[in-house]
Amino acid sequence: MMKRRVISLVMSIALLLSVGVPALAAAKVEEPEATEEPYESPIDFEELQETNPDIYGWLKIEDTKIDFAVVQHPDRDEYYLTHNSKGEIDLDGAIFSQATYNSKDFDDPVTVLYGHNMKAGRMFGTLRASFTDQEFFDEHKDITIYTPEEALVYKVFAAVPYSNELIPYEHDFEDEDEYTEFFEGVFRIRNLSAKFDEENAPEFGDHVLILSTCISGTPMRFLVMATLESDLENRSES
C-alpha cells in the first residue's frame, strides 16, 4: 500500500512539472475587486436641517468667500432674497434656488442658484471680481456642491454679464434645440469682462449649474456657468 502511495505522489509531481507554471497561475483564486468607500458628507446636514429644513446643499468655491448653505423655500421663490439660511430676516439673503423651476437633487438640465452681490463681499459679492480676473478664471474651474447623498463637482466654462431675464422661465432646457441655442448664444457674448473655456462647454444631456448675481448700477446680471464633471468624463470615455 505504501509503495502505491509513493508511486501516485511521484506521478502527481511529474504531471505538475509537465504542465508548467502557467497552469498553476491559472488555478489561482481571483482576488475580489476593491469597493468604493461610502460617501460621507463633510457637511453636517442633519444639524443644519434641524435649524432650517429648507437647507439641501452646500456651495463652495476655493479661494473665495463663497462657502454657504444652499436653500429652497417650498412655495415662495423670492423668500430667501430677504432671509438668511437660518430663515431669519436678513437683507444679505441666502444662496437659493427656486422650487418653481428646480428640484433639490440637481438633476435638472440647468440649475440656477441666486445670491446678492453684497458690497462687503458676502453671498455672491466676490463672484464677479473673482471670475472676471483671467488668472483666477484659468486656475479656478471647480465649483463643488455638497448634498447629503453626494458631492457634485462642476467645471466652469463661462463667466459673463447677461440680461436680467429669468432664465429657467424663458428657456425650455428639456428641448435640445433650445438648450443648444442658449449655450451657443452664451459663447457669442462679446464683452471685455466675459471669460470662456470651450473645453468645458456643455452638450445636450449635460447638467449645468449657473450662479447668478446682480451687477450694481445696471439692469444686467453676472453669471458663472459650469458643467457637471461626471458628464464631461462620460462624454470623453464614449
Partners of residue 58 on adjacent β-strands:
69, 146
Q: Which three cell numbers stand for residue 226?
A: 459650469
35-44: average pLDDT: 87
Where residue 5 falls among pLDDT bands split at 50, 70, 90? very low
Per-residue CA distances from 188 to 35, 161, 198, 210 (Å):
45, 12, 12, 17
Cell reading at 46: 442633519
Say if pTM beats, i.e. exceeds, 0.95. Answer: no
Domain range summary for the chain, segments of one domain joined by +: 49-237
Contact yes or no for 200/224 (Cβ under 8 A): no
For the segment 47-51, the average pLDDT, to the nearest whole number, is 97
Beta-strand ranges (E) seen in the chain are 55-60, 67-71, 95-96, 110-114, 142-146, 151-162, 195-196, 208-214, 221-228
Please give the CATH number for the structural domain made up of 49-237: 2.40.260.10
Q: What are 124-153's pLDDT values in tens digits?
A: 999 999 999 999 999 999 999 999 999 999
Q: Which residue has the cell 502505491?
A: 4
Q: Is 141 exposed, middle or buried (0-12, 13-18, 19+ CB in 10 A)?
A: middle
